[in-house]
Amino acid sequence: MESRRLGRHQVKVSVLGLGLAALGRPGYITLGHAADLGGNYETAVMEQHAHHVLDTAWAAGICYFDAARSYGRAEAFLASWLQSRQIDPAMITVGSKWGYTYTANWQVQAAKHEVKEHSLPVLQRQLGESRHLLGAYLDLYQIHSATLDSGVLTNRAVLTELAGLKREGLLIGLSLSGAEQAVVLERALEVRLDGVLLFDAVQATWNVLEQAAGAALTAAHEAGLGVIIKEAVANGRLTPRNHQPTFAPKRRIIESLAAAYETTIDALALAFVLAQPWVDVVLSGAATVAHLHSNMAAARLVLRPDTLQQLQALAEPSADYWQTRSHLAWN
């Protein structure tokens, strides 16, 4: 698999990365999560399953892995895999996130799955926890879902702490979510400490259905930030699992395009993101080895300009996209 640098930074990333949100805990919001895990949520079974997916990714040349404190035991599963396979930290790039605390207690259904707080005490506590698990493997630490509401981009104490970590060599990033992604990113690009841009990377949602942050992400790329794309198959909505009647007309178009390339609709959706010149890494959120194989076909696809145009035309209004996402059920 092709690899490159993350933005203007030295670390190496593969064009497809692996996100561990679906692998680290029993409950998640992707369409068929319950079916993927077969109802066996024993920690050791889930850890082995995660290791199997990680082995498959690594063997195929994937060298960027994305976790978060709130993805259940994702950091722990990644750490035990890295240690047991004795992977050299220089061969791999690991990003994680702080700002949400996992509260689901290893249950699929919970009153609250995660609690958000972008404060200095949470940053300090969670960085300690991430470093305890990942040690020298941790390259990039991201604010998890920065928003204007959370106040994190104007929180002097947090920004100063992040600037200190950056001086020590940790890359600093932010992830985005919601219809305001572009506005938040524009603000983030104004955050400078001692004249230097604070953020080294941004992780955002951009896919066939939600393309609103494209211009802001282009600006971030031009400013030298690494650009990581998440939710490239819209949490499963751009996969064979989506049987929603309202999606059927778009599904028919995507299926006929995928058939012309003799590929799957998820690979086509991922290839659409990979074709954007401002993207450094596209995350596969594969929950199984089969998903991963299907997703990885994207790295071999080169889409024609007319195909890109047809896919561009399928975008939804941002507000509709995020409204639908907010109704995805934990399963």
Ligand X SMILES: NC(=O)c1ccc[n+]([C@@H]2O[C@H](COP(=O)([O-])OP(=O)(O)OC[C@H]3O[C@@H](n4cnc5c(N)ncnc54)[C@H](OP(=O)(O)O)[C@@H]3O)[C@@H](O)[C@H]2O)c1
Residues that bind ligand X (CB under 6 A): 19-22, 30-33, 36, 66, 97, 144-145, 175, 177, 203, 230-236, 239-241, 264, 266, 283, 285-287, 291, 294-295
CB of 75 to ligand X, least distance (A): 11
> In this structure, which amino acid lies at residue 107?
Q
Phi-psi category of 286—alpha, beta or left, where left has phi over 0 and alpha has psi -120 to 50?
Answer: beta
Residue position matching structure tokens 């969670």:
126
Residue position matching structure tokens 């998440």:
230
Distance from C-alpha of 145 to C-alpha of 120, rounded to nearest angstrom: 16
Contact 206, 276 (CB under 8 A): yes
Which of 35/313 has CB closer to ligand X? 35
Return the structure tokens found at 174.
């932010």
Which of 140/287 has CB closer to ligand X? 287
CB of 175 to ligand X, least distance (A): 3
Residues 6+ apart with CB under 8 A from 171: 6, 9, 11, 95, 139, 140, 141, 200, 201, 226
> In this structure, which amino acid lies at residue 40?
N
Which of 66/180 has CB closer to ligand X? 66
Which of 156/327 has CB closer to ligand X? 327
Q: What is the largest CA-CA distance in the chain?
A: 53
DSSP code of residue 65: E
DSSP code of residue 54: H
CB of 195 to ligand X, least distance (A): 28
Contact 258, 295 (CB under 8 A): no
CB of 150 to ligand X, least distance (A): 12
Which of 192/244 has CB closer to ligand X? 244
Which of 21/198 has CB closer to ligand X? 21
CB of 23 to ligand X, least distance (A): 8
Residues 6+ apart with CB under 8 A from 141: 95, 96, 97, 98, 127, 130, 165, 170, 171, 172, 173
Which of 63/192 has CB closer to ligand X? 63
Picking from 279, 129, 297, 168, the residue whose alpha carbon sits closest to that of residue 218 is 279
Which of 22/134 has CB closer to ligand X? 22
Distance from C-alpha of 273 to C-alpha of 229, rounded to nearest angstrom: 8
CB of 194 to ligand X, least distance (A): 27
Distance from C-alpha of 73 to C-alpha of 49, rounded to nearest angstrom: 13
Which of 198/229 has CB closer to ligand X? 229
CB of 178 to ligand X, least distance (A): 9
DSSP code of residue 154: G
CB of 331 to ligand X, least distance (A): 8
CB of 291 to ligand X, least distance (A): 4
Distance from C-alpha of 257 to C-alpha of 189, rounded to nearest angstrom: 36
